[in-house]
Structure 1
Amino acid sequence: MTNDEPTVGRRVLLRTAVFLGIAAASSGLLGGGEGDSPAGAPGPSAGGAPPPAAGPGAGAAGAPGLRPEGLPDASYRLRPMTAEAPAQPPAVRPAVRTRPLLELPQGAAAGKAMTLTFDDGPDPRYTPAILDTLGRYGVRAMFFVCGEMATDHRDLLRRMAAEGHVIGNHTWTHPLIPKLGRSALEAEIGRTSEVVEQTVGRPPLWFRAPYGAWNRAAFEIGADLGMEPLAWTVDTLDWTEPGTAVIVSRVLDGAGPGVITLNHDAGGNRSQSVRALEVYLPQLLARGYRMTLPVLPPH
């Protein structure tokens, strides 16, 4: 029995310790003393630090989640901060073409439809008379403007826009594009688009290379600025001043569905161009042609 006494004593001590531990735990669960949290909720951590923030679902049943004073329910993290200002869809960049459009896109070219275009202006000596003739017959046209002319005659740009004409980009100084470096060409095209947008509230959507001399950089820069390249199918060569009758005959002989005629309202003496328009426009209309504007092709 002597050998069993230490063992019995240890057993008694162990049982006593277990009993005291259970009692202490029971007292902590039921006591609800100062600093205790409600049953099932985590109590404060050591040092008085606040409890961890509630998860995103806290407060979903009507009770607010745990959060710093003055902040909304933790579920605010799930709400977009710009919900009151829906994002605008990104602008669609036109395809980078390898050649300009040479005819009216489908839809605009239905029937006997043609487009009249005028390059190099605006020029206060000739552009107003051309606008007067177009207005007299209720016809709209396209004006591919040069920035150096447009910036000095913004009133004519505003008149073009107000009367429903389309304003296109024809570079700033009418250079030969293939002889320009990339940065110089970007400035020529970009500055002209800026002047048009500042004056009429929207940038041009069409671009035409001076002399019809295109290159890869021109197509890329035009597309970056949201413009489609447009050429022509009937060249009146009015810039050579061949005589009013010659200009008229070139337009009438070349007339046809989808035709785009090239005229000029600046860059020299354009009095023949002004008179020619007065002659051939009513004849085209009498033949059943409609002067229309091109429709942007799908991207």
Structure 2
Amino acid sequence: MPGDPAVIAGVVRGSTRPNLLKRLVLPPGPAAEPGRVRLTFDDGPHPAYTPAVLERLAAHGHAAAFFLVGRRAASAPELPATIRAAGHVVGNHTFSHPRLPWRDTAVSHAELSRCQRLLPDATHFRPPFGRLTPGLWRAARRLGLTPAGWSLDPHDWRCRTLADAAACARGLLASARPGDVILLHDDRPTVLPLLDVLLPGLRDRGLV
């Protein structure tokens, strides 16, 4: 059940089908090297937690990717520029993070394009809930956006306590391999203690 560290520690390795969902471009530097892992953050930006995440990444010299929800970016308009200035990638995660209709291109296009107006330099998008629907795929192609997925999902959105966060981090450290793309969320406080365990552990393994 949510909050149980035994559940929180479970890391789901993403399917390689479709391979499109594993594509991700990061800036040049150590984090983009094949032998490292790539950290990605969804559902932000958050006015308190995202800056704290940036501080932790800077302390470890790690470049990440942030897939931003448009309505949250509109509420904190300075944060996308702050993320870019710190050397990270900013991506499109739709405007309101809805569960999009399976074949409706118009709804998906409206969600992506509304977010894109706030993040005009974004080249990649991440589908809400990982659902790359036919409608979303067609809409993204019209906007010139490339899908980006992940290979490790610790379900960190279930974390409620410090113990949960530590269990998530330990699960990732046990599972991570060079080249993995890790899915995290920067819109909740437990991401901070999770990173406090994860980043030093990845550094010790030579993965960041």
TM-score with structure 1 setting the length? 0.58
Please identify the structure whose Cα radius of gyration is greater: 1
Report the Cα distance in structure 1 between the residues aligned to 2:112 and 2:23, rounded to whole angstroms: 23
Query: Is the 1:134–1:140 contact (alpha carbons within 8 Å) kept by the matching residues of 2?
Result: yes
Quote the residue 2:5 is aligned against: none
- 1:239-254 residue pairs with structure 2 within 5 A? 239-241=157-159, 243-254=164-175
- State the superposition RMSD in angstroms: 2.2
1:113 match: secondary structure: coil
The correspondence for 1:144, drawn from 67, 72, 90, is 67
User: Which segments of 5 or more consecutive residues in structure 1 lack a partner in the other structure?
Assistant: 1-97, 198-202, 291-299
Closer, same or farther in 2 for the Cα pair 1:156/1:180, shift >3 Å?
Answer: farther
Query: Contact 1:111/1:257 (CA < 8 Å) preserved in 2?
Result: yes
Change in Cα spacing, 1:145 to 1:104, as seen in structure 2 (3 Å) is closer
Q: Is 2:190 the counterpart of 1:272?
A: yes
Q: Describe the shift of the 1:256–1:109 C-alpha distance in structure 2 as closer, same or farther (beyond 3 A).
A: farther
Seq. identity, %? 36
Distance 1:154 1:260 in 2: 27
Query: Letter of the aligned partner of 2:97 in structure 1?
Result: H
Secondary structure of the structure 2 residue equivalent to 1:173 = coil
Q: Partner of 2:67: helix, strand, or coil? A: strand
Q: In the alignment, is the contact (CA less than 8 A) between 1:145 and 1:171 conserved in 2? A: yes
1-structure distance, mates of 2:141, 2:151: 22
Gapped runs of 5+ residues in structure 2?
1-17
> 2:3 is matched with which residue?
none
CA contact (8 A) 1:119 1:265 kept: yes
Give the partner amino acid of 2:20: P
Matches within 5 A, 1:167-246: 167-178=90-101, 181-197=104-120, 203-241=121-159, 243-246=164-167
Rounded Cα–Cα distance in structure 2 between residues aligned with 1:147 and 1:209: 13
**CA 100–163 in structure 1, closer or farther in 2 if over 3 Å, else same:** same
The answer to whether the Cα contact below 8 Å between 1:110 and 1:257 also exists between their aligned partners in 2 is no
Local SS of the residue matching 2:87? coil
Q: How many residue pairs get matched?
A: 185
Provide the rounded CA distance (Å) in 1 between the counterparts of 2:170 and 2:34. Answer: 22
User: Is the 8 Å Cα contact of residues 206 and 227 (structure 1) preserved in structure 2?
Assistant: yes
Deviation at 1:184, TM superposition (A): 1.7
Q: Which has the higher contact order (CA 8 A, sep 6+)?
A: 2
> Once the 2 structures are TM-superposed, how far is the Cα of residue 101 of structure 1 from its aligned partner?
2.9
After the TM superposition, which parts of structure 1 deviate over 6 Å for at least 4 consecutive aligned residues?
none
Deviation at 1:180, TM superposition (A): 7.2
User: Superposed, which structure 2 residues align to 1:1-299 within 5 Å?
Assistant: 100-102=20-22, 111-178=34-101, 181-197=104-120, 203-241=121-159, 243-266=164-187, 270-290=188-208
